[in-house]
Amino acid sequence: MTSRSSILSTADTRRPIVAAAALREFARGGYHGTTVAAVAGAAKISPAYVFKLYPRKEALFVAALEACFEQIVAALAEGADAAGSPEPAAVLDAMGGAYAALIRDRTLLMLQVHAQSVADIPEIGGALRAGVARVTEFAKERSAGSDDDVQRFMAYGQLCHLIVTTRIDEISESWAQTLAHGIRHPD
């Protein structure tokens, strides 16, 4: 007979794999356009086992969103560590550069966009706010910047989201150039 601890161990091992698959699938299709079966297929497990790990689709999406914010904070930490100066502006700029490099593949970015579109689902909205809070608090603590500095950093990040998702940086019209001016994104 299998002991309960080995079952928990297997579940604990599978959760991050399923969360990573959910992140990719929900980023591609959004909350409403992605089935639990699609996530299960990407994780190479049965839908029933996904539901054993995450009893509701909302919980699965939240796990994906938490994995997303884990990666974001890790990238911001690397950026902060690589800052050329301890000055708040330099640290925030380095963190912004690290985030821009991270969202180059758009998966994390698109999951955040999809999360915003279903933030009225209480569990998802709460997880999204918790993730934004975590990033904001991390930026404030690591940069030692003022509230205004951190607010600009977060606002700049949202502008980057808009530019990347709508491909504004590929448009030569003056309004698009105004929005994209000074925004850098790695190739």
Residues 6 or more apart whose CB falls under 8 angstroms from that of 140 comprise 147, 150
Asked, for residue 187, whether it belongs to a domain, the answer is: no
d(CA 136, CA 141): 9
Asked, for residue 167, whether it belongs to a domain, the answer is: yes
d(CA 143, CA 110): 26
Residues spanned by the domain of 138: 4-180
* Total number of domains constituting the chain: 1
- Joined tokens for residue 22: 């959910």
Residue 25 pLDDT = 98
Asked, for residue 185, whether it belongs to a domain, the answer is: no
Residue 169 pLDDT = 86
Residue 3 pLDDT = 52
Residue 47 pLDDT = 97
d(CA 38, CA 13): 20
- Joined tokens for residue 147: 């509230």
Asked, for residue 152, whether it belongs to a domain, the answer is: yes
Residue 184 pLDDT = 67
d(CA 83, CA 86): 7
Residue 98 pLDDT = 94
CATH number for the domain harbouring residue 136: 1.10.357.10
Residue 96 pLDDT = 93
167: alpha, beta or left? (left if phi > 0; alpha if psi -120 to 50):
left
Residue 161 pLDDT = 87
Asked, for residue 85, whether it belongs to a domain, the answer is: yes
Rounded (5°) CA angle 14-18-24: 155
CB burial of 122-145 (b: ≥16 within 10 Å; e: otherwise) equals eebeebbeebbebbeebbbebbeb
Residue 1 pLDDT = 47
Residues 6 or more apart whose CB falls under 8 angstroms from that of 112 comprise 65, 68, 128, 161
From first to last of the 187 residues of the chain, give the pLDDT tens digit: 455 555 556 888 899 999 999 999 999 999 999 999 999 999 999 999 999 999 999 999 999 999 999 999 999 999 999 999 999 999 999 999 999 889 888 999 999 999 999 999 999 999 999 999 999 999 999 999 999 999 999 999 999 889 888 889 889 999 999 998 887 665 5
Residue 183 pLDDT = 78
Residue 9 pLDDT = 65
Asked, for residue 186, whether it belongs to a domain, the answer is: no
Asked, for residue 95, whether it belongs to a domain, the answer is: yes
Asked, for residue 70, whether it belongs to a domain, the answer is: yes
